[in-house]
Amino acid sequence: MVAGLEMNNDQVLAVNTALGINSFEDLRGKPVAVDAPDTGFSFLLRKILADNGLRLEDGDYTLQPIGGVALRYAALQAGRTSTGAPVYASMINYPFAAQLHDPVRVLARAEDHVFPYQGGAFTVRHDYSASHPETITSFLRAIIAGGEFARRPRNRATVIAHIAAELGVSTEIAGRELDASLDPETGENRHAKMDKQALIGTIELRQEFGGFTVLVDDIRGLVRPCPNCLYDDRFWKEAKRGHDD
């Protein structure tokens, strides 16, 4: 990882009320749609459900792999998959969280259960970073500049119009998406700066639900930036220095 992407990324647990799901208890014994069982957002789902008395390991529900958020959003709104299997609930995030409509509603928000949480990061292979340092730095410099452009009030209408065109949504929804991305606690990482405490939260969540093959006994050491480690901040520092200049 060379920089932060976004924090919670507007993650919500959404349910289809037309299928009789209005509470956590209504999910007992039901499948819950995920992209895949072992992804970071699946662990977020498990945490939310565990906090409300439902545990996967106790057989209180099952996981229903469907695929990426676009597929899950469409299936949840329809209440079924393309093969007709019912879809009761799923984690939904940007850019679809702001587009939910009846009969789907938000049952819980991820930040109320796991906070802070590093939801995404810019990642590269070690061999690529060694051979293309200027490319990575230039990329991050552009990301930082773009983020600051979007934050300036005078650019709001331009940014909303771009989001609306890119996603094919109304300017109202695009405005909500922009506000969500600019939230200082749950939106995009400002200046693409990695939030190390949030990264620790992400690792702790995965460990809580058996997401590693071995126990991580030094999480803070794991996120300490250094070359050829899990987190390398050299490129971000150079990009930020260039942006400030």
Q: What is the pLDDT of residues 109-150, one digit of tens each?
A: 999 999 999 989 999 999 999 999 999 999 999 999 999 999
What's phi and psi for 62, nearest 5 deg? -125, 165
> Among the residues of the chain, which ranges form H helices?
40-51, 69-78, 126-131, 133-151, 156-167, 171-182, 196-208, 219-222, 234-244
The CATH code for residues 9-112 is: 3.40.190.10
For range 10-38, the mean pLDDT: 96
Q: What confidence score (pLDDT) does residue 82 get? A: 92
- The radius of gyration of the chain from alpha carbons, rounded to an integer in Å, stands at 19
Q: Global pTM?
A: 0.88
Query: Domains of the chain: which residue ranges?
Result: 9-112, 117-244
Chain-centroid distance, C-alpha 177: 14
Going by pLDDT thresholds of 50, 70 and 90, the confidence category of residue 74 is very high
What tokens does 237 get?
Answer: 């520092």
Q: What confidence score (pLDDT) does residue 198 get? A: 94
| 188 has a pLDDT exceeding 80 | yes
For range 17-21, the mean pLDDT: 98
Spatial CA neighbour of 77 closest among 66, 38, 50: 66
Hey, which residues does 63 pair with through a beta bridge?
32
What pLDDT digit, counting tens, does each position of 80-120 carry?
Answer: 999 999 999 999 998 898 889 999 999 999 999 999 999 89
Spatial CA neighbour of 71 closest among 34, 118, 32: 34
Pairing relationship of beta strands 12-16 and 89-92 according to DSSP bridges:
antiparallel
